[in-house]
Amino acid sequence: MSLLLDAMFSSVALGHFLVDLLNGQRSVLLVYWSDSLGSSNTALAVVSTMYVWGASMSQPLFGWLTDRWHRPQLIAAGGILGMGLCFSLALVLPYRYAIPFLLLASLGSAAFHPVGVVHATLRGKSLLAGKETTAASVFFLFGQGGFFIGPIVGGILLTHFGVTGLLALSILAIPVGINALRQLRGAPPAPPRPAPVEGQPAALVRAGRQLIVALAVVAALQAWVQSNMLVFLPKYISDLGQPASIYGLFAGLFMGGSALGNVMGGSLADHYGRQRVAVTALFLASLPLLAIAGIGWAPLLYLLVPLAGALTGAVHSIIVVTAQRVVPAGLATASGLTLGFMFSAGALGTLLCGPLADNRGWPPVFALTAFLALLASLTALLFLRLDVPRPAAEPLEPAEQTI
């Protein structure tokens, strides 16, 4: 694929892999610390929520900075290198200092994501004849691949070497950050968003607003589902008596499935339209999630977990690319707002589910997660039927007539 051979695209894709490789350590590392310190599920959810909020609420700011200050190489490289440094300090300092530095590492992730996704989609428009959803899905594949490999490798390193064994991963930020600094120096600026047309019919304006609101609901529900699985699945497997290498494997299986589903969903959306892909994938996702709620420990989990990840992950790039087109802001700002909102909403949902897990156990948590996926599917039916034409500068393509 010409996209993967492009030096600029590969630099942001590799940066995304490394950033989310480190992000993927959060779940297994917090479980490892909670097992050592006897922390509750609520405490686990609180720290995880603070981490995600740190990464998400600052993303719109970094997106705005990217749109206003055309230095993508400095923002991307600074995010990668800063995250690697703070994560390394969290691993070597005492616990009371480790948590603050772990939370600071989330800001590096926040800095990288908006600039990364914008330049990935722009390269896709240029190299794949306008198929930016496919390009975005490949970019997210690298990030989700990092989430997939990260917990598996992290669980093994924790089992054999303890917390400091994870330094073998954080040190990789140095070459990856330097590569992003070099390759993004010649990146062209993002094209300005066409000015709104004066005198648009009121019905069209209302339809656009309804689309944004409904898109936000679907994004929040999808993020809540994935956040619940990422945070609670390792603890669930741990409570079933499995070691770090096993609960790390299951966290990786979920994200591995999500990565593959994301690429398939992006490609199918460019060919068949976002409505069919989003509605179908989210509806089907509720089935394995519901099965996980009642199955307990069984070999079938090795199939159900990646399947749930694939179906929920299939709509991720669809949501981001749709937001880039309908949110009235620059591309990086729109991307930062969308990703930040998704991560924040997911973290808030997980925070609410922490006491539920402590008081009622795990089956109600995963049953609720299945219901959220079903609700997202029903909402997607509504928002994808709203017909909001693009500006004249962006002609409507046949594959996307459902949006």
Superfamily (CATH) of domain 2-186+202-391: MFS general substrate transporter like domains (1.20.1250.20)
For the stretch 162-194, pLDDT in tens is 888 999 999 999 999 999 998 888 766 655 555
For the stretch 256-291, pLDDT in tens is 888 888 888 877 877 777 778 888 999 999 999 999
- Under the banding of pLDDT at 50, 70 and 90, the label for residue 396 is very low
Dihedral sign computed on CA atoms, order 200, 202, 206, 211: negative
Q: What angle do CA 253, 254, 259 make, to 5 degrees?
A: 95
Instruction: Look at 7-16, 91-100, 227-236, 265-274 and tell me which has the smallest mean pLDDT.
Output: 265-274
For the stretch 134-162, pLDDT in tens is 777 888 888 878 877 888 888 889 888 88
For the stretch 66-119, pLDDT in tens is 777 778 778 889 999 999 999 999 999 887 788 899 999 999 998 998 888 888
How would you write 286-348 as a 3-class SS string? Answer: HHHHHHHHHHCCCCCHHHHHHHHHHHHHCCHHHHHHHHHHHCCCCHHHHHHHHHHHHHHHHHH
Residue 1 has pLDDT above 60, yes or no: no
Q: What percent of the chain has pLDDT over 70?
A: 83
Looking at residue 216, what is its pLDDT? 83
Tokens 């000015």 — which residue?
195
- Under the banding of pLDDT at 50, 70 and 90, the label for residue 330 is low
Domain boundaries, the chain: 2-186+202-391
The answer to whether 117 and 139 have CB atoms below 8 angstroms apart is: yes
Residue 198 has pLDDT above 70, yes or no: no
For the stretch 18-36, pLDDT in tens is 999 999 888 788 878 876 6
Mean pLDDT of the region 193-197: 49
Looking at residue 209, what is its pLDDT? 66
**Model-wide pTM > 0.75:** no
- Under the banding of pLDDT at 50, 70 and 90, the label for residue 37 is low
In whole angstroms, what is the distance from residue 280 CA to residue 269 CA?
11
Q: Which residue has the higher pLDDT, 125 or 112?
A: 112
